[in-house]
Amino acid sequence: MTEQNPTAFSRLVSAITQQIEQARGQVRQAVNTAMVQSYWEIGRLIVEHEQQDNRRAEYGKQQLQQLSQQLTERLGKGFDVTILRNMRQFYQSFPKRNAVRTEVKLSMYAPHKPVLKEHWQRLHADPRLLAH
């Protein structure tokens, strides 16, 4: 066996570490963009549905409860009435699609939008979600 140069080996480890950290950063950015766009689109769908169905507010509450229940059955946690309401509010705050710029990081919206903040925290609570 040949002896390894400790300096060269250390540079190899550093280069690989840097590559992996850079890739993880790109994954986080892609996830951020997809989440912002998805939450905006979900909010748009809810608002447009409500506008088509001009009934009283109580009916709207019942629809959000039904929507929450069915989405939770199909997709799992993360779609309670409060979150759906916040998605709707997110769309109403930025009704023009180009106002939600894709290069803007989720963290810029998160402090003001509870739904985004909650999902952001859930995503970063488990580093395995971003590791692969």
Cβ–Cβ < 8 Å for 106, 39: no
pLDDT for the residue numbered 132: 42
Cβ–Cβ < 8 Å for 129, 123: yes
List CB contacts of 107: < 8 A, sequence separation 6 or more. Answer: 32, 120
pLDDT for the residue numbered 117: 62
pLDDT for the residue numbered 84: 94
Domain hosting 89: range is 34-131
pLDDT for the residue numbered 19: 98
pLDDT for the residue numbered 102: 47
- CA dihedral 110→32→44→91, nearest 10 degrees, is 30
Crossing angle between the packed helical segments 6-52 and 81-93, to the nearest 10 degrees: 90
pLDDT for the residue numbered 4: 72
d(CA 117, CA 108): 10
Measured over the CA atoms of residue 76, residue 82, residue 86 and residue 92, the dihedral's sign is positive
Output the tens digit of pLDDT for each of the chain's 132 residues: 556 788 999 999 999 999 999 999 999 989 988 888 999 999 999 999 988 876 655 667 789 999 999 999 999 988 999 999 999 998 988 888 776 664 455 555 554 456 566 655 655 565 554 444
Count of the separate structural domains present in the chain: 1
CA distances from 15 to 2, 4, 9 (A): 22, 17, 10
* pTM of the predicted protein model: 0.67
